[in-house]
Amino acid sequence: MRLVALEDPTIQRYWPSLKQRPPLLYVRGDFTPTDEWAIAVVGHTLAYQLRQRGNSPYCGHTGAAGGYHH
């Protein structure tokens, strides 16, 4: 499994008040229905605040069922 940080050039469309774009994190690898995993973004205040409000398309994790969860 590998964690990759990428820049999304369209992020300003979602958060026009940002002075710089936060990184997007992608996990590449194979998962089975028995795997349990989550991603935590540490050190970015905006990402934390958006996750707490539950309205970020980028903060959360997917479970074994394949759904997106905050």
pLDDT in tens, the chain (70 residues): 555 555 656 655 655 565 665 566 666 677 676 777 666 655 555 544 444 444 444 444 444 333 333 3
pTM of the model: 0.22
Rounded Cα gap, residues 35 and 66, in angstroms: 11
Do the Cβ atoms of 34 and 28 come closer than 8 Å?
no
11 vs 23: CA distance, rounded Å: 9
